[in-house]
Structures are given as C-alpha cells and as structure tokens.
Amino acid sequence: MSDLLERLRGRGWRMTAQRRVVAEVLDGEHVHLTADEVHARAVAKLPEISRATVYNTLGELVSLGEVLEVATDKRAKRYDPNAHRPHHHLVCAQCGAIRDVHPSGNPLADLPDTERYGFTVSGVEVTYRGVCPNCAAA
Amino acid sequence: MSDLLERLRGRGWRMTAQRRVVAEVLDGEHVHLTADEVHARAVAKLPEISRATVYNTLGELVSLGEVLEVATDKRAKRYDPNAHRPHHHLVCAQCGAIRDVHPSGNPLADLPDTERYGFTVSGVEVTYRGVCPNCAAA
DNA sequence: ACTTGACTTAGACAATGTCTATTGTAGGAT
DNA sequence: ATCCTACAATAGACATTGTCTAAGTCAAGT
C-alpha cells in the first residue's frame, strides 16, 4: 500500500506526518470521499491536522495525477484514489453512492471532428445515473 | 420562444413577472449560465427580483425537466436550457467554455449488466475535456 | 546540529446555495 | 369588478465548501 508514498517521495515530496496521513486515508479504502470526509478521517489519526492542509494536500495529489477529482452533482467534490486504471462512475440519484464502472467502448472515438469545434480533446468522463439496490428496496 | 412559457402555464405554473423573466433569460441565449449569472441578467430586466427567487425558479425548472443542471468541475452549477434534445458537453479546461456536442453511439449500451451492480440505470452524462481554439492560440 | 525553505496552522474571508418569517399577488370564486 | 386564499417573492440570516494570509514549525540536506 505504500506504493503511493514511495511514488510521492520519488517525486521530491517532503514527507510530513500530515501528508502521510492524508495519503493513508485515500489509499486505505477505495471509496469516494469529500474533502471534509478526508479531513475527518485524518483528524482521527492525527488530531492536530488542519483543514487547509487537507485541502492543500488533496490539491497537490490531484496535480500530480495520483488522485482524481470527481464532480457529480453533489455540492462537494469527491476524491478518487483509483487514478491509475481508467474508469467511469455510476451514481445513485437518491443516496449519492458512487461505484467505479468500466464500460466497453471508447467514447472519445464517438466524437466526430465536426463536433469538436476546434477543441483539442484530451479526455472524457462518463457518469451513469440510476438508483442503487438499497434505495430501490426502500 | 414562448414555447417554454406555454408549457409551464400548461403545467399549472402560476405566471409571475419573476418567473417570466427567469424563463426569458434562459430561453434567450443558449449558453450555460451559473445561477448568479442568471440572477444578474434577471435583475437587468426586473431590478427587484431576489436571489432566492432565482434559485427557487431554477430548481423548479430543473424538477420539471425544462432545464438541465450541468456539474462540470467548476464551483458553480450551470443551467442548460437545451433539455429537449439529448446532448453532451465539451468543456475547455482553461477558460471553462462549454459547448453542446452530439456524439455518435449510445454509452448506455456500453455498460454491461455485470457492471451495473444491481443499479437501475436511467441516464448518462458524458463530459469531454479539452482546450478550446481561443485558449490554444493564447 | 544547524539552516533554510517548504510545510502547517488558525482563522478570516469568499463563493455558492438554503431556509425562514413576512409580505405580496395571480387567478379563481363571487 | 372585487375579494380570497393559497402560492410565490422578498430580505437577509445562515450553512456549506473552498481559499487565502501571516506567522510559526519542521524535514532533510550540509
């Protein structure tokens, strides 16, 4: 699991207790946490960590490409530690649960030149919407 | 252009000056405005309109399916009046410009049952990311 | 062990969105 | 035409999420 810490150290990251804790939180469970949830879990391990540090560290991890930002329609951005295998998301419209999914096909290939308006297209995100089994049962 | 107003009236909407103005702003230019931008344009036409009313009205329009909420990664949600022809979005990573696009293919068909985890999948949003010609030139 | 510049901190600030209590009014009823 | 009433609008407080700053702290190279 310290792959992540190793990679970061290799990139010249100064290794502090705070950064280690944030990295551990993300690496620990592959769910999609908001910044505040990350902060809450980080505080549990290192009570004096500040909110600003968590935001800073998440921002750095995103810049380094180690973590992805996911903007569903919820208010808060979520952070996805699974940045190394391309995937998309399936979101429950009721409870907000998020699953990683791997559709077949390549949506990038589905965008013809005539629909690109001169943009240099570099990526694509696909968000499926639906209702999860839990919410459907309720 | 009053298609929208007609439809709303048909659905039992009480027609007030404020709602008319908000509907006109959205119907007027097919761009993707934030709530505050809608508010600013509405104030230009009806100075005493309040922020809460704009938010309420946008929320109602979304519930009625007349307008779509678009969550790119920007802070503010944007509102897309083009709710009646399915389409997806192409976003400039630098300036945030948004274009409507119509990819070929159907991403819904690309999600096999084994990747649905029991969800009832009802929709899909595709967001292409890239750099627009303007920003590329700069 | 010293030094230095990157890192962290607390808390103010900013941006966006929501709620409440009050006042106003659209549109049907008379 | 006027009145009633439920629904809508208002101002502004509040909530949530994210950003910034100034000052203190510490990891890591020497």
Q: What is the residue-wise DSSP string for B3-67?
A: HHHHHHHHTT----HHHHHHHHHHHHS-S-EEHHHHHHHHHHH-TT--HHHHHHHHHHHHHTTSS
The token pair at A78 is 């979520």
Quick check: B1 pLDDT over 60? no
Q: What is the pLDDT of residues A24-51, one digit of tens each?
A: 999 887 789 999 999 999 999 999 999 9
| pLDDT score, position A112 | 93
Range from A42-46, A57-61, A116-120, B134-138 carrying the lowest mean pLDDT: B134-138
In DSSP terms, A120 is beta-bridged to B131
With tokens 């990683």, the residue in question is A100
CATH topology of domain B88-137: Dna Ligase; domain 1 (3.30.1490)
In DSSP terms, A129 is beta-bridged to A91, B123
| pLDDT score, position B63 | 92
Tell me the average pLDDT across B41-58.
Answer: 96
| pLDDT score, position B75 | 83
CB A90 to CB B121 under 8 A? yes
Asked whether residue B135 is marked as a ligand-binding residue, the answer is yes
Burial B4-23, CB ≥16 within 10 A → b, else e: bbeebeeeebeeeebbbbbb
Nearest to A71 among B72, B116, B126 (CB): B72
Identify the helix (H) or strand (E) that includes residue A3: helix A3-10
| pLDDT score, position A26 | 93
The token pair at B104 is 């070929």
Q: What is the pLDDT of residues B24-42, one digit of tens each?
A: 999 887 789 999 999 999 9
User: Exposed/middle/buried for B133, CB within 10 Å: 0-12, 13-18, 19+?
Assistant: middle
Q: What is the pLDDT of residues A78-119, one digit of tens each?
A: 999 988 888 999 999 888 889 999 999 889 999 999 999 999
CATH number for the segment(s) A88-133: 3.30.1490.190
In this structure, which amino acid lies at residue B113? D
| pLDDT score, position A2 | 60
Chain B residues touching residue A120 (CB < 8 angstroms): 130-131, 136
Tell me the average pLDDT across A12-22.
Answer: 94
- Which residue's alpha carbon is at the shortest distance from the C1' of D9? B53
Q: Does domain A3-80 have CATH number 1.10.1740.10?
A: no
| pLDDT score, position B2 | 58
| pLDDT score, position A80 | 94
Listed as ranges, the nucleotides of chain D within 7 A of a protein C-beta are 7-12, 16-21, 26-28
Quick check: A60 pLDDT over 70? yes
Q: What residues does each domain of chain A span?
A: 3-80, 88-133
